[in-house]
Structure 1
Amino acid sequence: MGNLSIKNFIGTIFLILLSATFSMAANYSDLTSTHLPMILDSSSEAVTSDFDNDGDNDIFVANYGEDKLLINNGTGYFTDETGARLPADIDDSRGAAAGDANGDGYTDIFVANNGQNRLLLNDGTGHFSDVTATWLPSGSEFYSSGAFGDIDGDGDMDLIVSVSGISKSIKIFVNDNETKFIDQTSTRLPSDTSHYTQKVILADFDRDGDLDIFTVNSLNNSNKLLINDGTGMFTEDATGIIPPDTNSSNSAAIADINGDGLIDYIFIANDGGQRNRLYIYNTSTAKFEDKTTANLPVDNDYSFDCAFGDLDSDGDLDVVVANGKDAGQANKVYLNNGGGVFAFASSSFFPADSDFSTGVIIAGFDSVPGNEVFVTNYFEQRNRLYSTGEVPSAITLSSFTAKEKNRKVIIRWKTETEIDNLGFNILRSETEGEGYVKINKKLISAKGTSTKGAKYKFIDKNVKSGRTYFYKLEDIDSSRVSTLNDPISLTMSNRKKK
């Protein structure tokens, strides 16, 4: 979970409910090919926030290898701007957290790695600098996740980091006046019996007004709840607030179903063919009860992550589970009946997949009401984006070319069919992955129909010799929904001025 204090906890988790539109549910479509850049990574997890402060949600992806920063154009189309915005890295990253580490009002990024973790500070425009050397304690363990939150009530964001080994399973890094993090694990957590921790969640589980730590543990080690005394000192819960278990858990998600700032649901994603689990808070006993048998359908998936969000726009919180196995195992959607009883969504509601999925986030990425689902995948498989928003009406593009002529670039394209097409824009950049700008002054009107294509030409006069230019074709349908096609490139010849 990202950047939390008790003061903002109520608003943070209830925002999931506010994003819902109370209307008939629409089926989800896979928008990966049109809305995401073509990247084949081995991704572990993703976090979303408005990193560039332009009013929409962007995505940071933690990878085995180079991490990625995907910038949203405001309508749910993402561009890979890693090279321009992130410091270079080749770490094996397993998790990430977003939060304001230095108190300047901008969202920073913590990356959990196999080896040294990293902290990236945001300059306010979505450009990040690596301050690991001065901000983070050194480390060489197998770190798996992180969570920002004010554990000691001093007004700044502390950091909890999970360790997926047999040694002490978490690290408590306390923020020193927003200048660096200090490792105070040994003094703030004298005893810790968690092992092989895959995820940490900071939230007020015992409802006493401070942030506790929930550790999600694998290899049949029971998940643990560490209780905060209000000053950031933790002891293992001995009262049974969370049901005991001997499952192999990979992740968990929490939900506030009524907007009172208190946790009502805990969903546990289990590995090894074990059932996922649902815990629901009982106000009479002041404990979470295991409602798996009564409230969840039977599943035997290999689940790696989960997230709450209103997928069917009926005002309650559903669950998406990211599943993975060597041969591929479809992700699952659990729809809530409004009373905390879940059933699998129909096969037509959410596209099936055969990916090895490792992470899932649910958020609004475009201006269309409703939530989108972003899924991270491993083994150099494309990450995926799903949405109920209107799918752009398709054109069938048969050619798209650029040719130099008389010190200009002649761009031609041909369509075979155009369904509900309004027109085209030409976008240009001098780097393939980022910085595209529209160069036509007005929309190039469509001429084709659903049964007949058309030919088009655009002349780019503002070019220089020796430069390489990348061009993208954007088509706009009558609902003003756009689709970007893959770029083409051309290098101008070197010509001396006469």
Structure 2
Amino acid sequence: LYVVKSLEANRLYRNDGGDSFTDVASQVGVADTGDGSGAAWADYDGDGDLDLYVTNFGQPNRLYRNEGGTFREQGMLAGVDDVGDAYGAAWADTDNDGDPDLYIANFGPNVFFRNLGNGTFEEVAGALGIADSSSGIQPVFADFDNDQDQDLFVANSGPNRLWWNNGDGTFEDGSTAFVPLDGGASTGAAVGDFNNDGFLDLYVPYFGNNRLYQNQDGEGFTDVGRSRGVADPENGRGAVWGDFDNDGLLDLFITNRDTENKIFRNLGGDSQFLEVGETFGVNTSADSRGVALADFDGDGGLDMFVAIQNSPDQLFRNQEAEGNWLTVLPKGSDSSFDAIGARIEIVYNRTQRRIREITGGTSFLSQDALSAPFGLGEALSVDTLSIRWPSGTLQRFSPEDVGINRVITIVEEAPLPPVEVQIETTGDILVANGTAQTDVTVTLFNNLAEIALVSDRLITFSLDVGGGALDVSGPTIVDGKASARFTAGTLPGATPLSILVSGLPTQRVLLTLLPRLSGTDATLETIAGTGNGGFSGDGDLATEANFNTPRDVAVDASGNVYIADSANNRIRHLNPTDSTIATVAGTGVAGSGTVFDGEALDANIADPRGMFFHPGGDLIVSESGGQRIRRITLAQGTTSAFAGSGFSGFSGDGGPATDANLTTPRGLTIDSFGNAYLTSLNTGNTPNVSTVRLIKNDQISTVAGDPLQLFPNEDGVQGTKSRLNGANGVAVDGDGNLYIAEIGGHRIRRVDPYGIITTFAGTGAPGSSGDGGPARFLELNGPQDVAFDPAGRLFISDSQNNRVVAIELETGLAQTVAGTGRSGSNGNRGNALELNLDEPGGLTVAPDGSVVIADAGNNRVVRLRMLFQSDAPTVEPPPIDPGSGEARADFNGDGIVDFLDFLPFAEAFGSTSATYDLDNDGLVGFSDFLTFTNAFGRANSSNPAFTGIPRWARR
């Protein structure tokens, strides 16, 4: 620990262990007696040990070169013995050449010394436009915009300054990035990601109200100090971020002049910080100045040294660090040994990400230890640890390499070279509609089957044949990966995509573009409702009856259609034999409270929304307005309670379903074991905080959703530890996966049989793009319901987009199958893609494979009949004539000309290979390509492998 003094000898305290330190400054040659200001460590000469720079006021600054245990002053020889009345200094490798550069804040023009790599420096502040003259106090380097170079903030007696690093050793003024504009005067700065969004935030002490500048995704900063409760109004000096209680959240310590120092504890989320200085025992009232952090006793708790003017300095041992922890001590090789500018990221508990960056000077004339301490709370392991070095090298470590409750030293190592290329696509089957997209991701692997974290290798993506366009991530591999987004053309067929990585064999992937659905593939017809709102028509044809916002439908094994006529508070039956309509339950008057046994036609049903058939044939109905689920025994025309007390709220887990409180129950479904699932759109009185509950053996429990709002809305966790935003329709597939339509979340969530929740479709933002591509790219807008067909397709009523979408589970392909996207009605029969739907709600798959849809806004029920591209009968092309040149295109001799033959043909293109020269003109060229294209997908009957069994369409 080095401590700078004013007009007396500086101290270098050697840590002797066991709570004792010894001042060895005089012994090792660093007991400078000038009017000291600050100090910062770095390995400026690249010899693997830390050198020391000391700033002085009115006297030359000092550069002490470490010579293996003793120091030699080299300021004049190195050209950094500035006499500009210096305050703070900070090191950073701003041009990524492996040598740390040095910025000094002066009472006058600031200076910036570029390290020339030979033990000397060149002053270039003026040339770079960063020689500010506003009486600088403390410079701080950090990568604020996540572009892998060090930006510069300077706390000034005048307006504070920010310069963005352009990545080539030059800077651009970014001082207008602060909202409100930062006019100073300030005394220091602390850098840390307090809200764990992956961007470094900035805390600035002032002679007055301090500011907490929250980073806005690398685009600028917004002051949130007052809203977060950390706009301390005292005379601030230094500040540091540190996870003092090891709970995974960065807390904040502030030194003040002649008033109490403070610690603000980070409570997480959007909460204000809690001031706990007195509780933590650090609320010293003195002329406190600099502050620096280090775990001096190695127990995992961040300790703190505070420099005090005209009083003894203070060293605080941490007594509050109760959580698990990990400290990373990085050592550079291609980068500077000090690792200044290295960024360390850990992931724990699957989704918790934390970053730290090694700084070369911060706070007020101070510098923290050159290590990265992390609090882990109750986590028992770290999932991954990554370190990005200033050289650009990335290293990644697994839980077995890392451990917890320890200090781990990581030495920078170049990655092993790649030996293999692997390709993944978001989906390799698209619709040829001109807009469908898929991502193609290329990953390089080394000989240990690990990702080869190399960068700067050239990569080329090219379409060999077929329509479409590519948007490539860049010309080079970055951290072992590269990607391209493919946009389909309008021509159906096979589209091979070639990927060439420098030094590795060419790889290819085959994308299949399906034809768009036609008017004969998808037809829609009205089966109930005139389109006019109201109630009428019982006993007459269903198409002559009036409905009032029908919200759901259910079809039994005989084809009887039951309709939740929601705003009429009735359940109505469409007879498939004579197409007449009749009411089977409900008086038309909404009711509430406990459901009593009785006649179904005498029941006061309130806003029926969800329905399913129980194995015994009873119809189960959710009453969104009655806070209950009702059983209708159709054979006897009676009704009884199935779930819900009739009173709103959230209660009853672990007990009888009929005793549970529900709030606005909506979706209903049943699995193959007879277990029922229901959604509550609102839990208690909280809008859009939803749950999915299971009824098994008449007992109720929660399987998804967070009614107490203890957890964020995230994927990859237990379903009960993630919020649901407006859960409505539900469905269960044959493997036991539960699908949930989130109206407010604009997506479909999936809970697997192990209870883990993920997003299956939708981006989370309302929209309508992504049609014809992978479900992952599909944008939804207020989806209301989901249903499965026997072929493994999930149908979604995308209500606010006025359409129905189908997703094939096997391929992930999502495409619109009904609706134009416009509301209203423009016909009752015809092409499903040319007829309007208006806020389609509940839907179900009938025994004949058709999809019955409650077209709520049009006050009708419609039936959709589909013939998907994969359902169409295969028309085999004729076999290849054995005597033609096309027969030679079966290069691998398996009896079929397919993609396996295309791979070597593409490799040989442009060569003189006789094997692939199909027209015998001496060159494998375009004429041969036309011959191959004509043979592609056809059987080669002249080959013994040909059996007459069609194989051309195999994937």
Task: Give the TM-score of the pair, scaled to structure 2.
Answer: 0.32
Contact 2:40-2:91 at 8 Å conserved across structures: yes
Contact 1:101-1:178 at 8 Å conserved across structures: no
Paired positions, count:
317
1:268 alignment partner, one of 187, 198, 204: 204
- Read off the aligned partner of 1:278 and give its amino acid letter: L
Aligned position for 2:255: 322
Aligned position for 2:95: 152
Percent of aligned positions with the same letter in both sequences? 31
- 2:292 equivalent to 1:356: no
- Read off the aligned partner of 1:287 and give its amino acid letter: G
Aligned position for 1:282: 216
SS for the counterpart of 2:26 is helix
Contact 2:63-2:81 at 8 Å conserved across structures: no
SS for the counterpart of 1:121 is strand
Aligned position for 1:129: 72
How far the C-alpha of 1:265 sits from its partner, in A, is 1.8
In structure 2, the CA distance between the partners of 1:67 and 1:240, relative to structure 1 (3 Å rule), is same
Matches within 5 A, 1:114-263: 114=57, 115-125=59-69, 127-165=70-108, 168=109, 170-189=110-129, 192=131, 195-218=134-157, 221-237=158-174, 240=177, 243-257=180-194, 263=199
Poorly superposed stretches of 4+, deviation over 6 Å: none
- Read off the aligned partner of 2:193 and give its amino acid letter: D
Contact 1:69-1:86 at 8 Å conserved across structures: no
SS for the counterpart of 1:279 is strand
In structure 2, the CA distance between the partners of 1:111 and 1:156, relative to structure 1 (3 Å rule), is same
- Read off the aligned partner of 1:89 and give its amino acid letter: D
SS for the counterpart of 1:90 is coil
How far the C-alpha of 1:343 sits from its partner, in A, is 2.1
Aligned position for 2:318: 388
Aligned position for 2:227: 294
In structure 2, the CA distance between the partners of 1:286 and 1:155, relative to structure 1 (3 Å rule), is same
In structure 2, the CA distance between the partners of 1:163 and 1:298, relative to structure 1 (3 Å rule), is closer
Aligned position for 1:61: 3
In structure 2, the CA distance between the partners of 1:185 and 1:246, relative to structure 1 (3 Å rule), is closer
- In structure 2, distance between residues paired with 1:255 and 1:228: 19
Contact 2:142-2:152 at 8 Å conserved across structures: yes
Contact 1:194-1:215 at 8 Å conserved across structures: no
- In structure 1, distance between residues paired with 2:149 and 2:245: 33
Aligned position for 1:367: 298
SS for the counterpart of 1:267 is strand
- In structure 2, distance between residues paired with 1:298 and 1:150: 32
- 2:40 equivalent to 1:97: yes
Where relative contact order (Cα < 8 A, 6+ residues apart) is larger, the structure is 1
- In structure 1, distance between residues paired with 2:147 and 2:319: 40
In structure 2, the CA distance between the partners of 1:83 and 1:176, relative to structure 1 (3 Å rule), is same
Aligned position for 2:261: 331
- In structure 2, distance between residues paired with 1:225 and 1:363: 27
SS for the counterpart of 1:278 is strand
Matches within 5 A, 1:340-489: 341-345=272-276, 347-379=278-310, 381-389=311-319
How far the C-alpha of 1:291 sits from its partner, in A, is 0.3
SS for the counterpart of 1:226 is strand
How far the C-alpha of 1:192 sits from its partner, in A, is 5.0
Contact 1:109-1:121 at 8 Å conserved across structures: yes
In structure 2, the CA distance between the partners of 1:249 and 1:258, relative to structure 1 (3 Å rule), is closer
Deviations 1:452-473 (A, max 9, x none): xxxxxxxxxxxxxxxxxxxxxx
- In structure 2, distance between residues paired with 1:346 and 1:205: 29
How far the C-alpha of 1:314 sits from its partner, in A, is 1.5
How far the C-alpha of 1:206 sits from its partner, in A, is 2.8
- Read off the aligned partner of 2:23 and give its amino acid letter: D
Contact 1:251-1:305 at 8 Å conserved across structures: yes
In structure 2, the CA distance between the partners of 1:60 and 1:88, relative to structure 1 (3 Å rule), is closer
Contact 1:223-1:244 at 8 Å conserved across structures: no
Contact 2:277-2:283 at 8 Å conserved across structures: no
- Read off the aligned partner of 2:205 and give its amino acid letter: A
In structure 2, the CA distance between the partners of 1:198 and 1:370, relative to structure 1 (3 Å rule), is same
SS for the counterpart of 1:63 is coil
- In structure 2, distance between residues paired with 1:178 and 1:303: 40
- Read off the aligned partner of 1:305 and give its amino acid letter: G
- In structure 2, distance between residues paired with 1:199 and 1:124: 29
- Read off the aligned partner of 1:329 and give its amino acid letter: T
- Read off the aligned partner of 2:253 and give its amino acid letter: V
Contact 1:97-1:146 at 8 Å conserved across structures: yes
How far the C-alpha of 1:241 sits from its partner, in A, is 5.3
In structure 2, the CA distance between the partners of 1:344 and 1:210, relative to structure 1 (3 Å rule), is same
Deviations 1:346-377 (A, max 9, x none): 52222432321111112100032211111001
SS for the counterpart of 1:359 is strand
In structure 2, the CA distance between the partners of 1:199 and 1:238, relative to structure 1 (3 Å rule), is closer
Contact 1:121-1:128 at 8 Å conserved across structures: yes
Give the greater-gyration-radius structure (CA). 2
Unaligned regions of 5+ residues in structure 1, if any?
Answer: 1-58, 391-498
How far the C-alpha of 1:147 sits from its partner, in A, is 1.0
Contact 2:144-2:200 at 8 Å conserved across structures: no
SS for the counterpart of 1:347 is helix
How far the C-alpha of 1:88 sits from its partner, in A, is 4.2
- In structure 2, distance between residues paired with 1:194 and 1:136: 21
Contact 1:72-1:78 at 8 Å conserved across structures: yes
Task: Give the TM-score of the pair, scaled to structure 1.
Answer: 0.60
Matches within 5 A, 1:9-88: 59-65=1-7, 66-88=9-31
In structure 2, the CA distance between the partners of 1:294 and 1:259, relative to structure 1 (3 Å rule), is closer
- Read off the aligned partner of 1:293 and give its amino acid letter: R
Aligned-CA RMSD value = 2.2
SS for the counterpart of 2:188 is strand
Deviations 1:94-151 (A, max 9, x none): 11111111001111111111131110111233x2211112113443211111111111
- Read off the aligned partner of 1:383 and give its amino acid letter: D
